[in-house]
Every structure is written in C-alpha cells, then in structure tokens.
Amino acid sequence: MHSAQLRRAAGVPLLALALVAGCGSAPSGEQPAAAAAATRVFAADNGQVTIPADPQRVVATGYAVPALIEADAALVGVSLWKRGLPLMSQEHRATYDRLEKIAGETAAETNYEAIAKVKPDLIVIGVPAPVLADVDMDRLESIAPVVAIGPTVPSAWRELSQRQSDAAGRAANFGQAKAAYEKKAAELAAKYREALAGMKFGHVGSYGEAAKGTFQREFAGSWGTNIAQDVGVTYYGQVKKKGGGSSDVSEYPSIEELPASLGEADAITYSVRPDGTPNESVKYVLDSPLWKNLPAVKAGKAFPIRYTEAATYDSALMTLDAVDQALAPLAAS
C-alpha cells in the first residue's frame, strides 16, 4: 500500500457531512441508545456512506492506522503498519502494539474473520482507490459501514488524515495536531528565510531501483519534498509526463540522466532511513561518480533528510526537526 506503484492513485473527493438521524427527544432511559443510533452521511472514495455520528468501535487499515491512532479514535483493530513504526511516539506505538491486528501490510491480506470478531461499528480503509479491488467490499459492508479514504499525491496526507479523523469522530483532535505543526513550520520558515532565498533544490527519493539503473527524482508535492516546502525550500522542475497520483510529482530516470536531472540545482536533499543511513536505492546514487560531480554536491550542499514518509501532523513534526537538522549548515553560513 505504500510503494512507488501504489502511491500513483488518483482522485480525492471532497468531504460532505450531514447529520441524518439522532434528532428529537427520547425518554431518559433511552438516551444512550438514541445517541448510539445517530448517523451522518460521509463522502468517501466508495461513495456516500451512512456512518455512526460518534463511532465507538473503529477498525482502520493502511494510512488510516497512524492517523486514527494519533487522533485517539475508538479503535478496536488495525492493519499492520510496520513501515510507520519509526514515526510513532512511545505512546502511539504502545497503542498500536496492543490493538488487534486484523490485516497485513497489503489490502489483499485483510482478515475478514478477525474484523468481524472485534465487532466494529465503522471500518476506515486507508488504501489507494485502485487497491480497493483487492478488498471484498461486500463482505466488509456486511460487518459494518465502510469508508474508503485513500492516498493520492503524497502531499495530500493533510486532507487525507483530516477526513479519516473526521470519519472517526475526532475532528477536534486533528485540529490540535495541525496547529502544532503549522506553528513549528512557521518558526522554521522564519529561521531559514534568508538562507533559502533564491535557491533551487532537487531531491533524490527512496524508490529508485538500483538493479535497473534508475533513481527517483522527487519534485514539489512528493514524499521527500512536501514538508521541506513548508519550511520554505523551493524544488524546481516537474515530471516529463504526468500519470496521476505520485507519478505527477516524481519520476525514475536512469542514473546516466543524473547530471541533466539535477545539474541546475543549487542544493540537493535526499531521503535517508530513520537511523540516517541511505537505503540501497539512494546509496546507488551517492556512490555514483556522476553524483560526486554535480555542482551542488561539489559545493557541499547535499543534505540528507530523515522521516520523509510522514503522513500525519504528529509524525510530520519529526520531519520538521529532521529538515531543521539537515539545513542547519545553510543557516550557519
């Protein structure tokens, strides 16, 4: 669900909410039941879905897992989300560890029996629209209302996590995390305003294929760039051919094209793992003589950035710290 291929999905519908039940009076002894029965209509990737106004037993998969853990949703089960564990706080990791695992890392690994066993009143599927073909939606809908809210372009995690939190009845919690992120981003933007003025950046992402002799060039709005942009980093250029989703903001040239792709950059950022080391794809680029001869690299302006796959406001705070650490030499010069 989070590979270079799966990130190339398209289309984010707008959220539309309407309270459709739960109005009117009831005897005092029936109020809890009436509250539980309140519903609203939610616009999801899979259409207009009637869901509980205040879900009490939520199942989350894919990108909805970290979003709903951070929003303190009433979760009773989640899919595996191993690739996001380094981005979780101790508290959120503890929540993830204790929750029932009802699916693997991919949509095809959904365990319908496990989902039914935890008796959800809402199921939030956070996978790209094309991947829904791997999910037996009819079977899920026979268990509980299902809202599919999946990723499109990487930078859309802001809207995506908001919609997922709202579906789970935690819009207020989402707002707090958003405010904290925006405050910190604004502080860093002020810190680096002069240092970044007029600079053109390029970015090398984590999803090239060394075996095929390719690297990933990420442009504005991609995983490796979108949070740095909030600090004021300007990424120049665009993909040669847009194909929807992530392919609108990243491409995979051959290593021989490195000078043509990044030769105009005043500075280059590149994704590294949480421990600061490059994965095989990025190391392939860094070891290339073509990389070493790039003007930005020769000028000492190549900066590694950790946590470039953050997809929630809480985790993106870690990315802001990483961007600050990476760009510190610019502020000092």
Span 286-300, pLDDT tens digits: 999 999 999 999 999
Q: pLDDT class for 333, splitting at 50, 70, 90?
A: confident
Residue 224 sits in the same domain as residue 322: yes
Residue pair 267/302 in contact by the 8 Å Cβ criterion? yes
Domain endpoint, select from 169, 204, 235:
169
- CA distance linking residue 304 with residue 326, whole number of Å: 6
User: Mean pLDDT throughout 81-106?
Assistant: 95
Place of tokens 């992120």: 181
Residue 269 sits in the same domain as residue 154: no
Residue 299 sits in the same domain as residue 225: yes
Residue 150 sits in the same domain as residue 222: no
Q: pLDDT class for 2, splitting at 50, 70, 90?
A: very low
Tell whether the model's pLDDT for residue 243 goes beyond 90.
Answer: no
Residue 154 sits in the same domain as residue 213: no
Domain endpoint, select from 169, 197, 219:
169
> Is residue 26 included in any domain, yes or no?
yes
Three-state SS string over 170-204 comes to CHHHHHHHHHHHHHHHHHHHHHHHHHHCCCCEEEE
Domain endpoint, select from 169, 202, 235:
169
Q: Which of 54, 75, 56 is nearest to 65 (CA)?
A: 75
CA torsion, ordered 115, 118, 121, 123, to nearest 10 deg: -30
User: Mean pLDDT throughout 261-265?
Assistant: 98
Q: Which domain holds residue 266?
A: 187-332
User: Mean pLDDT throughout 257-281?
Assistant: 97
CATH at 222: 3.40.50.1980
Residue 280 sits in the same domain as residue 251: yes
Number of domains in the chain: 2
- CA 234-239-242 angle, 5° bins: 130
Residue 260 sits in the same domain as residue 165: no
Angle between helix 171-196 and 313-332 (nearest 10): 10
Residue 191 sits in the same domain as residue 138: no
- CA distance linking residue 199 with residue 175, whole number of Å: 32
> If DSSP codes are grouped into helix, strand and coil, which group holds residue 265?
coil
Tell whether the model's pLDDT for residue 27 goes beyond 90.
Answer: no
User: Mean pLDDT throughout 260-281?
Assistant: 97
Residue 229 sits in the same domain as residue 324: yes
What letter does residue 55 receive in the DSSP assignment? -
Could you tell me the pTM of the whole model?
0.85
Residues 6+ apart with CB under 8 A from 66: 81, 84, 87, 88, 92, 311, 312, 315
- CA distance linking residue 49 with residue 43, whole number of Å: 6
Q: What are the structure tokens assigned to 125, written together?
A: 């599927």
